[in-house]
Amino acid sequence: MILLAVTMALSIAVGVTDISIGTVWESMFAFAPESTSHAVIRELRMPRAIAGALVGAFLAVSGAVMQGLTRNPLASPSIMGVTHGAAFALILTIVFFPAVSNIGMTAAAFVGAGLGVILVFAVGSFSKGGLTPAKLALAGVAIGGMLSSLSSAISLHFQVAKQMSFWYAGGLAATDWVSVQILLVAGAVGLTLAVLISKSVTILSLGDEVSKGLGQNTFLVKALGVIVVFVLTGAAVSVAGTVGFIGLVIPHVARFFVGSDYRLIIPVSAVLGSLLLVLSDIGARLVNAPYETPVGAITACIGVPFFLYLARGEGRGSL
Amino acid sequence: MKKRRFSFVMAVLFLFLSFMVLISLNMGVVNIAPLDVLKTFIGQGTDRHELVLFNFRLPSMVLALFVGAGLAVSGAILQGVTQNDLADPGILGINTGAGFAVILYIFFFQQSMAMVSGVGIYILPLFALIGAFLAAFLVYALAWKKGVNPIRLILVGIGVNAGFSAVLIIFQVKMNPQDFNQALVWLAGDLWMGNWNLVLVIVPPIILMIGWTIYKSRTLNVMNLGDSMSMGLGIQVEKARRTFLLLAVGLAGLSVAAGGGIAFLGLVAPHIARRIVGPGHQRMIPAAALIGAIFLVVADTIGKNIIAPAEIPVGIVVSIVSTPYFVYLLMKTQ
């Protein structure tokens, strides 16, 4: 938590114009409306840092819940088609209803997230031999590939490809206080629910039979888990685009630290996810300053080696 | 009898392909009636028709044919060598690797996508090949753990693919908007340069490699029986596997240089071929090559005409058409 606070302060301080940590402190506790740095901090840097922290937390918690429910070490929002589905719905909305409000876009992202996850799950559950990690990854690649092909066809046709692609690659540059409000509302619902079901997820992660034997309503837990994933991922994608791999990597790291109890994994994932995304966002601003690098590219550079490590079957819960 | 049936199937496929080529050649912004296409071919067309056909449509048609065939054969080899039905140069990250190298080349050495010309046309496929081999090497090396297990190979391929895409997007967003659009189109799969020079550079090696693969196809049959069996039958398995992998990667690299990142074609064409002519590689590979060519010509025709005058990149059409089939295969295989 302390580390997170420091990183966020750093994130507020770092940018095209460097602002000292002291000024950041002043702007918070002795706000001077006439100072440009103070205005930059209040209107741009602060919402960006907060949104980054929330998006990171949401993606990590979604990933943790998905991995717990499916007992699949590769389950995560970007692999399971959730982010691509949300992105596809958003592109449709932006192209066909350009006047839509922020709330409307978030709603579209929820619907799209649902569409993606239903498609991938359907493929998985209709296959012979069930939803093995390899099948899940392939189904995710296929559905994700098709949805993003459709998205690029649409964005090319309507000549909004570059904006779309930047957003598609994930970025926090456009966040403002409205995005933070949306995230806070979604977080209040999603994170609370996630914490409430965390004990049941732990039991479910031992297997369906064990869970039923202990008198648990597996269907209810799964349904609530899916709602958590929709709400959190939908909100995250509508604000930050498709930031991949956080939901895949962080739950594994959390499990490494605190063991297999989801009552601990979920909060720890949230904090670690925030930390990773805020750090990546700082990286996104610094790598090629003064231009922004898509933050999704940065998280992928961290996430891909980890994915390969899991794919080689060397991590916990090996394939 | 079986042999005759095979010849019959190949003849039907070939006729269908010729028919599609003819249809495709007469469609486009300038419509040329099929009869006029034929007339132009035998040298009796108008100057305008000649210009459109010989300078624009025919070179991209030839490229489409060989890119389709190249990807299909590459997929057939990969499926045979890895003994995994879901292998494909796109899924294994080879296409993205080639695309990555090409984008780097354009980014650093050429002013813009539209300006690739002169020597560039000869260097571009070279870069695509280097990228393809780099990706293939990475995937193979990372999946190596006392041998290469097919599932691990595919998963590692997905990971390497994601890695290349991530680095790619960093360069892509630094391009100017027009280049960016072209790069995006090309990465989605697009026969972007209907150009006789490119045909000359790309097509002969593709023909050679496909020919060599067909010539050696019996080895692939034996390898399908498993490593110990093929060693017993006197095949040096590791050496043969390496040769075939080099062929597959080479075919994919050249195809990407001309056609961009066309996904799933290398996966679907061999499956359809296996359905029609059975699993023997000496028949399956030529059939797959024809089916791949048909597939790409049809997809290209659809992409160019469905929302004309705008165009949908051929790779997007391929991906939309073949994803359902891939999903079907995925559900069926154990």
| pLDDT confidence of residue A51 | 86
Q: Determine the Cα angle at B12 with ends B11 and B16, to 5°.
A: 115
| Mean of pLDDT values over B125-145 | 87
Residue B88 φ/ψ, nearest 5 degrees: -170, 145
Q: Measured between CA atoms, how close is B10 to chain A, in angstroms?
A: 30
Of residues A76 and B42, more confidently modeled: A76
Share the mean pLDDT of chain B.
81
Which structure tokens are listed for B114?
Answer: 């539209």
Band of residue B221 on the pLDDT scale cut at 50, 70, 90: confident
Facing residue for B320 by CB, picked from A123, A129, A149: A149
Task: Tell me: pLDDT of B175 over 50.
Answer: yes
> Is the link from the previous residue into A290 a cis peptide, with omega within 30 of 0?
yes
A84 touches chain B (CB under 8 A): no
**Residue for token digits 């697009």?**
B190
For residues A250 and A299, the answer to whether their CB atoms sit within 8 Å is no
| pLDDT confidence of residue B69 | 94
Chain B contacts of A308, Cβ < 8 Å? Answer: 142, 156, 159-160
Mutate to test the interface with A, among B91, B149, B155, B160 (most CBs of A within 10 A): B155
Chain A contacts of B172, Cβ < 8 Å? Answer: 165
Upper half-sphere CA count for residue B227 (Cβ side, 13 Å): 8
| pLDDT confidence of residue B241 | 81
Contact A135 B188 (CB under 8 A): no
Task: Tell me: pLDDT of B5 over 80.
Answer: no
A118 touches chain B (CB under 8 A): no
Share the mean pLDDT of chain A.
78
| pLDDT confidence of residue B167 | 85
Q: Is the ipTM above a cut-off of 0.85?
A: no
Facing residue for A311 by CB, picked from B91, B152, B327: B152
For residues B164 and B97, the answer to whether their CB atoms sit within 8 Å is yes
Residues 16-75 of B with CB under 8 A from A: none
Residue B146's contacts (CB-CB under 8 Å, 6 or more residues apart) are none
Band of residue A92 on the pLDDT scale cut at 50, 70, 90: confident
pLDDT > 70: percent of chain B: 86
Spatial separation of the C-alpha atoms in residues B150 and A35, rounded to whole Å: 61
A134 touches chain B (CB under 8 A): yes
For residues A167 and A296, the answer to whether their CB atoms sit within 8 Å is no
Residue B144 φ/ψ, nearest 5 degrees: -75, 125
Q: What is the pLDDT of residues B274-319, one digit of tens each?
A: 888 888 888 889 999 999 999 998 888 888 877 766 778 888 888 8
Range with lowest mean pLDDT among A205-209, A301-305, B31-35, B114-118: B114-118
Chain B contacts of A301, Cβ < 8 Å? Answer: 163, 166-167
pTM of the prediction?
Answer: 0.81
| pLDDT confidence of residue B218 | 83
pLDDT > 90: percent of chain B: 15
Contact A157 B307 (CB under 8 A): yes
B333 touches chain A (CB under 8 A): yes
Task: Write out the DSSP string of B220-252.
Answer: HHHHTT-HHHHHHTT--HHHHHHHHHHHHHHHH
Residue A39's contacts (CB-CB under 8 Å, 6 or more residues apart) are A33
A156 touches chain B (CB under 8 A): yes
Of residues A234 and B36, more confidently modeled: A234
Spatial separation of the C-alpha atoms in residues A25 and B213, rounded to whole Å: 68
Range with lowest mean pLDDT among A127-136, B56-65, B83-92, B127-136: A127-136
| Mean of pLDDT values over A165-191 | 77
| pLDDT confidence of residue A319 | 42
For residue A154, the chain B residue with the least C-alpha distance is: B312
Spatial separation of the C-alpha atoms in residues B145 and B226, rounded to whole Å: 18
Chain B contacts of A319, Cβ < 8 Å? Answer: 151-152, 155
Band of residue B76 on the pLDDT scale cut at 50, 70, 90: very high
Band of residue B112 on the pLDDT scale cut at 50, 70, 90: low
For residues B175 and A165, the answer to whether their CB atoms sit within 8 Å is no
Q: What is the pLDDT of residues B262-273, one digit of tens each?
A: 888 998 999 998
